[in-house]
Amino acid sequence: MRYALHEIFATLQGEGRNTGRPCVFVRFAGCNLACPWCDTDFSAKMALELDELLEAIAQFEPKSVIFTGGEPLIQPELEPLARALKERGYWLGIETNGTLEPDPSLRECLDYIATSPKTTAPLAIRRAHEVRLVTASDVTAAWCRAVREAVEAEDYYLSPCDCNGGLQVGPAIQLLGELNADAPSPPWRLSLQTHKLAGIP
């Protein structure tokens, strides 16, 4: 079994609750969606065996690993990798678009699940630590509330869309005001891609 990957790199987490956490990002190749505003390159650049991938991760200093993509849950044999990392003492998170539900055996290995559902895709995940919605032009307050009803989480965020030549913070702030008018608990919060603002790769 070889894992299809785009890149492996260490940096600070730039968004959500874990902003500032030093992490090794394992970006898997491929996605089951094609969002028109997506700026992530998840083309396949390498294919590594389990032992090779574990060795590549161990070359970096952080003891936190985040599976990302693309969509990491379309990658076969993710659970053996996750279990091997946990056995080596890593904190383990995943960033998913929510179209797939992690297997129970994978869930028990994950310390943190961040999901970013999309308006045009089916929503399968029902429980996460963090919901992070990108405020593209088709995102409405009604849809955000529906996602919140469907996905139980500890934190709910809006992330301004990086599209049309810049970060669309204004629309995100306006939507935050609408969503928080009824004082939900926990409140909706803003999640900026601070790594981009700070020039961190």
**190 vs 170, more confident:** 190
Is 103 a residue of the active site?
A: no
**Model-level pTM?**
0.93
Looking at residue 197, its pLDDT comes to 60
From the list 6, 28, 71, 95, the catalytic residue is: 95
Using the predicted structure, report yes or no on whether residue 109 has a pLDDT greater than 60. Answer: yes
For the question of residue 129 being annotated catalytic, the response is no
Instruction: State yes or no: pLDDT of 198 exceeds 60.
Output: no
Structural domain range at position 87 = 2-197
Residue-averaged pLDDT of the chain = 93
In the chain, pLDDT over 70 holds for what percent of residues?
A: 94
Active site residue 35: yes
Name the domain count of the chain: 1
Indicate which residue of 39, 55, 152, 154 is catalytic.
39
The pLDDT of residue 199 is above 80 = no
Read off the pLDDT band of 165 (50, 70, 90). low
Could you report the per-residue pLDDT of 33-92, keeping only the tens digit for each? 988 877 788 899 999 999 999 999 999 999 999 999 999 999 999 999 999 999 999 999
Catalytic status, residue 28:
no
Is 96 labeled as catalytic in the residue annotation?
Answer: no
Q: Is 163 a catalytic residue?
A: no
Query: Does 161 qualify as catalytic in the annotation?
Result: no
- Split at pLDDT 50, 70, 90, the class of 108 is very high
End-to-end CA distance of the chain: 30
Report the alpha-carbon distance of residue 174 to residue 187 in Å, rounded.
14
CATH number of the domain that 92 lies in?
3.20.20.70
Instruction: Say which of 25, 28, 42, 67 is annotated catalytic.
Output: 25
Query: Which of the residues 38, 155, 163, 178 is marked catalytic?
Result: 38
Buried b (16+ CB within 10 A) or exposed e, 50-88: eeebbeebeebebebbbbbbbbbbbbeebbebbebbbee
31 catalytic per annotation: yes
Question: Which is the catalytic residue, given 15, 28, 35, 144?
Answer: 35
